[in-house]
Structure 1
Amino acid sequence: MIQVLSNDTIQKIAAGEVIEKPSSIVKELVENSIDAGATNIVVEIKNGGLDYIEVLDNGKGIAKDEIEIAFKRHATSKLNDFNDLYNLQSLGFRGEALASIVSVSKVIISTRTNDEKLGHKVYFEDGKKIEERPIAKNIGTSIIVKDLFYNVPVRKRFLKSKTTEANSITNLMYKLAIGNYGIGITYIKDDKLIFETKEKENLNSVLTELFGVNIVDNLLEFTLSGREYKINGYISNNKYYRANRSLQYIYINGRYIESKEIRDSIETAYKAVIPNGRYPVFQIFLSINPKHIDVNIHPNKEKVQITILEEILNSIQLKTKEILNQEFSLPEIKSKDDIKENILFQEDNSIKDLLEKFENNKATNSISNTNTDKIEKIEHDNTGKINLDNNTTSEEDFNNFVFESNEYYSVNTNTQEDLEIKEDYNIEIEEVNFIKENDFNEYIYIGTIFKTYLLYEDRVNNRIFIVDQHAAHERVLYEEFLKEFEEDEVIIQELIVPITIDLKQDEYDLYLENKDIFGKIGYNVDLFGGRTIIIRSVPNILGNAKNEQLFLDLLDSISNSDKKDGLDSIYKKIIKNSCKNAVKAGDSLSEMEIRELLNKLMNCKEPYTCPHGRPTLIEMSKYELEKEFMRVK
């Protein structure tokens, strides 16, 4: 039998589209406050917003006789007819939010307009007004939401943990604070002040409050104008990047949106400028004639359609490339004496620094580098392509210089080998004649070819071995750290100059949740108040890695994983970075160092591949060699 649904059922079904989780409520209420002309907004949540949400503003308020109407479906002051959608200046317009909220929670609204001497407080429960009374109140509105989904228990069971829901609200509050700089926004979570931006503050000040000075110092101003649009904001330089897209923000006419097209147009300009798998930071604000935008795509209003999108994308990509070309930071060369005391802690010291092999892990690994012949300096021309200019440097000159931020420096091995680590290798091994622990002591060292491959002859069994010194040392470092880790004896490196990092609130919370993991792998971190931490020691195996960037990468890797995989993901990241400390292709080793490397390799549990799956050594029999010369069939 076909029947008309009850209003209560209709309300609850409709609420499911608009109110998916606590952050949906915060978003709708804060946007209402902004549309009401508020210059100061306070948001407070408790227990992830499941138990308590309050949004307080100094906007124009709601008149007494309109309060009950405001909580009815499709009641709005922002539209008169459908055509108004294409001249929309407000964030909200559907007239569904308050009706949806009141149908799935208990709501208390207190409000007063400028024309009223007293304010009014109204209690709603299960979508109905329970009580109303006059109160003394400043101009503006306060809405308190309690017991979310108390009457829809199935929906409540599908919510995430309170911590996860709180982090979702925190991320939302960052978006709202950035997108509405100039409005004072205070965010309180579980009775703790998370951040407070000031009225009339500029974007730079707001970003400093939210993210700290380090990020802001690495941002470049972005401005662009077209016939029907204007764009402004910031993009990061080539020295600052993250392992995920959590610091990318796009706004259209004050509204935060998700746009893969705009995001990709910016990221494309960073190719060959920042490492693969890393993402730029940006805050981009687009002001577009409303007639070119359709925001009526989804109830959350984060997806829009733009009729002039292609024109905007091309302009953004070209402008981003232009800014990066103008502001590109080339590596600096400094005398080693000038930075002797803080070489480990320069922010721009890359984990690829050539001097790491001279300064780090000599005592632990007994493998040092004694000679480097050539360095390639990579420069970018105006087309964005990379030009290689070989510059020969003597060993004496080389020992007197340190290269900072030298992701664009590499050892010239006079081969076409790509030294970038490949993650996937398909290795076919037909037959393995396992080498015993001390066999290499009995083999004859012939020499090193291409400054990379160690050549040994086994005259007893008529065969030769070719060892990749980089892959071999990777395996050694991997298993040394693995042993330390499993035995809870990770060797740490005390930092002479501790590293201070200002974290986002969700990053700070994520660290607190996983601080035992960081402690287990060798990090000694102190809390410094607010969202600031101080790193006092790091795992020794990381050497001269970019310690701040790496710590943030580790946090990002955990945030991208399930909690149960947090240790595994952080561990893999540690290993990947520790491998950068291995001797490189092109590093010259003495016979003593070579012998020690091979002894350590053959003591490994899995000596035949590096941690990434590449072979550490290959074998060739005399018969196979003679076949190549056609001496045998």
Structure 2
Amino acid sequence: MARIQQLSSHVADLIAAGEVVERPASVVKELVENAVDAGATAVTVEVRRGGMGLIRVTDNGCGIAPEELPTAFLRHATSKLRQESDLGKIGTLGFRGEALAAISAVSRLDICTCPAGALTGARLHLEGGVPGRVEETGAPQGTTVSVQDLFYNTPARLKFMKKDMAETAAVMGLMQHLALSHPEVSCQFIKDGVEALHTPGDGKLSSAVYAALGRDFAHSLVEVSGRGGEVAVHGFVTKPLAGRGSRSMQTFFVNGRFIKSPLLTAALEEGYRNQIMKGRFPGCVLHVELPVTAVDVNVHPAKTQVKFAREKEVFDAVFHTVLDALDQDGKPAAPAHREDFFKAMDAQTYRESVGGRADGVPVPSAAPRPSAPAPSGTRPIVPAAPVRPAAPAVRPASGRIVLPAQPPAWDTELSGKWAVHDTAPQAPAYRRESEFAPPDAEPLRGERAAGGEKPALAEQTAGRPPEAEQQSMPLPDGGGGDDETPWRIAGEVLKTYIICEEAGGSVWLIDKHAAHERVNFDRMKARLEPPMRQQLLSPIALGLSREDGALLLENLELLREFGFACEDFGGGSVLVREVPADIDAADAEATLEEFAENLRSGRDVDERREKLLHTMACKAAIKAGMESSEQELRVLVDRVQSGEIKYCPHGRPVAVKLSRYELEKMFKRA
């Protein structure tokens, strides 16, 4: 057995650096947090080659005294903690006292600082954690830290760095979090000599959201503000119709610190229950403020996770604040309060106010004045005719709305009681496609005959679109016309489940979306040639988060394999010019959002490719609620009954079998 010995200080520093500094974004995080704690109102971050070549952070904070510069780069050296009790009430961003030491241990670092009121500044150079001599120099108030050749002495960590585009996107995401957490600080980010972000620093969260996350996202937000006990919540959430394909646009801050919290995510999405589409997620920029003693931020080396002392109180505060804001969104403002609404008065005053005498005898009202004669050539004013329901619009099988050719005539008994008006007839009511139309309802033609005959019915094929426009599916050889199959399609319920009767007396319920999804997945997985593409007349600019956009741009070749032609549109946006023929252009943005989420979670190329196939198969499948032809249902049932399909790509069952005995048992017949 090897002998136990104490590690050298250099090796210990490298181990500590591995815990604190994972990538260039980790360096930027520690330096900008120190700048904010120093009272800076303007922070500028410049990176080259994704931060592997250069990271320069400049602030106008309080600076560091020249005699304290060497001490600042020692392990466990900090100006934010003094005694043991301070660990239970941490109100600053950086506090561990290991950041500067860890960064200097794996890079070549230069720091130039000038305290407030000093005539000159000081400069210090460190290489591999070894400090040089402090030199006097001219410098503006504040601190500038330059980090070069990151991980030059740790090649094991260097080989795990991603492409420059991905590392730059990570730094950009971190600068967005800084701008949103401290809107009073003007944040500037420069990548490879080009300014990518600049916030005004006017103290308004809305201004920071607009500058950091873009105009489209800012216009889809609803302001929220509330309090529950000692927990205050304020910020913005997206409207239910502006849901996202992933949770990448959910940003939470606790006492000004960006965190990732499943508790806050659950509270936010609980507020959207029954208001947002399934599979869509809300976006937000939420600030949670609570006493520093009620939260522990020292539970993770990167300080992105916290522990709440009273989790239920925090959950309720976020949930009710979001729910109240969504309920009030779009409602008219409350009427102005009348000062005399609750005015107190005695009985005598009330009688006088309503026209009676003090003794309670009502005063007779004056006789009504005769109305002035109507001018010649005009019709007298008559009571309005009662509103009769318009003839219902009928939606045939094609899914198009068919309006009645003419509204039905008024009943004979009503025509003599009401005068005819010189107004246009009331337009027939439109009917939304989601409304249920009776299967035997047809458009009306003509007016009701004098003998009380029923209106003529439109032809069954009226308004039916051409075959090319209908949802179609390739039929297998011999499918669709074989009456000797051992099963029979009994029908379809809820436009989602196919009812199939087997020759042996069993009944099958088949989920047509899951079955079609599996068909698409198997077909795409076995395909040897690239998919057919459709070029868009108007390219689509995707408003994704910076990290999601960088992930897609980093995997352009992989996306091209699946039929997507994308390119960098600048500012982190992605421009889509071509989509696969299986995907509708309207689903392109949601599909690529899911792609980005899958690319983030996939460990290798094969796993990523399979997850992308899952998304493609799902988006191209028949959706629940869509109308399907008998031929389409027959194809799906044939695949299921033959045993070819049992589960959808996500592992859900495609069909459920009910035996004759089970049915009879339900009705107490067995």
TM-score where L is the length of structure 1: 0.70
Task: Decide which moves more: 550-559 or 106-115.
Answer: 550-559
Separation (CA, whole Å) in 1 of partners of 2:656 and 2:535: 31
Task: Decide which moves more: 317-326 or 53-62.
Answer: 317-326
1:111-260 aligned at under 5 Å gives the runs: 111-157=113-159, 164-200=166-202, 202-260=204-262
Query: In the TM superposition, what is the alpha-carbon distance from 1:9 to its structure 2 partner?
Result: 4.2
1:481-630 aligned at under 5 Å gives the runs: 482=524, 486-492=528-534, 494-495=536-537, 497-525=538-566, 527-543=568-584, 545-562=586-603, 564=605, 565-580=607-622, 584=626, 587=627, 589=629, 594=630, 598=634, 608-609=644-645, 612=648
Query: In the TM superposition, what is the alpha-carbon distance from 1:522 to its structure 2 partner?
Result: 3.5
Given that residues 541 and 573 in structure 2 are in contact (C-alpha distance below 8 angstroms), is that contact kept between their aligned partners in structure 1?
yes
Quickly say closer, same or farther: Cα 1:122–1:310, change in 2 above 3 A.
Answer: same
Quickly say closer, same or farther: Cα 1:147–1:603, change in 2 above 3 A.
Answer: same
Separation (CA, whole Å) in 2 of partners of 1:75 and 1:472: 59
* Aligned twin of 1:438: 478
Given that residues 210 and 504 in structure 1 are in contact (C-alpha distance below 8 angstroms), is that contact kept between their aligned partners in structure 2?
no
Separation (CA, whole Å) in 2 of partners of 1:596 and 1:313: 47
Separation (CA, whole Å) in 2 of partners of 1:237 and 1:73: 47
Separation (CA, whole Å) in 2 of partners of 1:70 and 1:15: 15
Separation (CA, whole Å) in 1 of partners of 2:297 and 2:509: 61
Separation (CA, whole Å) in 1 of partners of 2:519 and 2:4: 71
Quickly say closer, same or farther: Cα 1:62–1:599, change in 2 above 3 A.
Answer: closer
Offset from partner CA, 1:470-528 (integer Å, 9 cap, x none):
46982797289739964335142634x54332333222222222223434434344544
Separation (CA, whole Å) in 2 of partners of 1:224 and 1:295: 23
* Aligned twin of 1:98: 100
Which of 110, 121, 128 is the equivalent residue of 2:112? 110
Given that residues 91 and 255 in structure 1 are in contact (C-alpha distance below 8 angstroms), is that contact kept between their aligned partners in structure 2?
yes
The SS at the match of 2:240 is: coil
* Aligned twin of 1:474: 516
Separation (CA, whole Å) in 1 of partners of 2:484 and 2:122: 93
Offset from partner CA, 1:96-119 (integer Å, 9 cap, x none):
221222223221011122322233
Given that residues 248 and 545 in structure 2 are in contact (C-alpha distance below 8 angstroms), is that contact kept between their aligned partners in structure 1?
no
1:31-46 aligned at under 5 Å gives the runs: 31-46=33-48
Separation (CA, whole Å) in 1 of partners of 2:220 and 2:259: 24
Q: Does 1:24 align with 2:23?
A: no
Separation (CA, whole Å) in 2 of partners of 1:180 and 1:224: 19
* Aligned twin of 2:424: none
Instruction: Letter of the 2:28 partner, please give it.
Output: V
Query: In the TM superposition, what is the alpha-carbon distance from 1:55 to its structure 2 partner?
Result: 1.0
* Aligned twin of 2:334: none
* Aligned twin of 1:631: none
The SS at the match of 2:317 is: helix
Query: In the TM superposition, what is the alpha-carbon distance from 1:123 to its structure 2 partner?
Result: 0.8
* Aligned twin of 1:384: none
Given that residues 195 and 210 in structure 1 are in contact (C-alpha distance below 8 angstroms), is that contact kept between their aligned partners in structure 2?
yes
Given that residues 38 and 61 in structure 2 are in contact (C-alpha distance below 8 angstroms), is that contact kept between their aligned partners in structure 1?
yes
Instruction: Letter of the 2:609 partner, please give it.
Output: L
The SS at the match of 1:542 is: coil
Quickly say closer, same or farther: Cα 1:596–1:6, change in 2 above 3 A.
Answer: closer
Instruction: Letter of the 2:540 partner, please give it.
Output: I
Structure 2 unpaired stretches of 5+: 332-394, 401-430, 445-474, 666-670
* Aligned twin of 2:342: none
The SS at the match of 1:499 is: strand
Task: Decide which moves more: 22-31 or 149-158.
Answer: 149-158
Offset from partner CA, 1:382-429 (integer Å, 9 cap, x none):
xxxxxxxx775986679xxxxxxxxxxxxxxxxxxxxxxxxxxxxxxx
Separation (CA, whole Å) in 2 of partners of 1:146 and 1:106: 5
Quickly say closer, same or farther: Cα 1:312–1:213, change in 2 above 3 A.
Answer: same
Query: In the TM superposition, what is the alpha-carbon distance from 1:576 to its structure 2 partner?
Result: 0.3
Query: In the TM superposition, what is the alpha-carbon distance from 1:355 to its structure 2 partner?
Result: 11
Given that residues 260 and 304 in structure 2 are in contact (C-alpha distance below 8 angstroms), is that contact kept between their aligned partners in structure 1?
yes
Given that residues 86 and 294 in structure 1 are in contact (C-alpha distance below 8 angstroms), is that contact kept between their aligned partners in structure 2?
yes
Given that residues 110 and 121 in structure 1 are in contact (C-alpha distance below 8 angstroms), is that contact kept between their aligned partners in structure 2?
yes
TM-score where L is the length of structure 2: 0.67
The SS at the match of 2:597 is: helix
Separation (CA, whole Å) in 2 of partners of 1:75 and 1:588: 69
Quickly say closer, same or farther: Cα 1:442–1:204, change in 2 above 3 A.
Answer: same
The alignment of Structure 1 onto Structure 2 pairs a total of residues equal to 530
Separation (CA, whole Å) in 1 of partners of 2:123 and 2:63: 12
Quickly say closer, same or farther: Cα 1:216–1:395, change in 2 above 3 A.
Answer: farther
The SS at the match of 1:580 is: coil
Q: Considering fraction of residues, name the structure with more helix.
A: 1
Task: Decide which moves more: 12-21 or 259-268.
Answer: 12-21
1:299-314 aligned at under 5 Å gives the runs: 299-314=301-316
The SS at the match of 2:611 is: helix
Given that residues 475 and 610 in structure 1 are in contact (C-alpha distance below 8 angstroms), is that contact kept between their aligned partners in structure 2?
no
Given that residues 472 and 601 in structure 1 are in contact (C-alpha distance below 8 angstroms), is that contact kept between their aligned partners in structure 2?
no
Separation (CA, whole Å) in 2 of partners of 1:391 and 1:20: 60
Quickly say closer, same or farther: Cα 1:62–1:436, change in 2 above 3 A.
Answer: closer
Instruction: Letter of the 1:134 partner, please give it.
Output: E
Given that residues 76 and 94 in structure 1 are in contact (C-alpha distance below 8 angstroms), is that contact kept between their aligned partners in structure 2?
yes
Query: In the TM superposition, what is the alpha-carbon distance from 1:463 to its structure 2 partner?
Result: 11
Structure 1 unpaired stretches of 5+: 330-353, 360-372, 378-389, 399-434, 629-633
Given that residues 51 and 168 in structure 2 are in contact (C-alpha distance below 8 angstroms), is that contact kept between their aligned partners in structure 1?
yes
* Higher RCO (C-alpha under 8 Å, 6+ residues apart): 1
* Aligned twin of 2:285: 283
Instruction: Letter of the 2:60 partner, please give it.
Output: N
Query: In the TM superposition, what is the alpha-carbon distance from 1:53 to its structure 2 partner?
Result: 1.8
Instruction: Letter of the 2:483 partner, please give it.
Output: Y
Quickly say closer, same or farther: Cα 1:318–1:455, change in 2 above 3 A.
Answer: closer
Quickly say closer, same or farther: Cα 1:77–1:603, change in 2 above 3 A.
Answer: closer
Instruction: Letter of the 1:531 partner, please give it.
Output: G
Larger Rg: 2
Given that residues 374 and 393 in structure 1 are in contact (C-alpha distance below 8 angstroms), is that contact kept between their aligned partners in structure 2?
no
Query: In the TM superposition, what is the alpha-carbon distance from 1:316 to its structure 2 partner?
Result: 1.9
Q: Does 1:449 align with 2:449?
A: no
Offset from partner CA, 1:534-579 (integer Å, 9 cap, x none):
4344333233644433332232222232350333322221110111
Query: In the TM superposition, what is the alpha-carbon distance from 1:217 to its structure 2 partner?
Result: 2.6
Report percent identity of matched pairs: 28
Instruction: Letter of the 1:17 partner, please give it.
Output: E
Query: In the TM superposition, what is the alpha-carbon distance from 1:235 to its structure 2 partner?
Result: 2.0
The SS at the match of 2:226 is: strand
Task: Decide which moves more: 121-130 or 289-298.
Answer: 289-298
Separation (CA, whole Å) in 2 of partners of 1:602 and 1:450: 15
Quickly say closer, same or farther: Cα 1:357–1:269, change in 2 above 3 A.
Answer: farther
Task: Decide which moves more: 91-100 or 76-85.
Answer: 76-85
The SS at the match of 1:83 is: helix
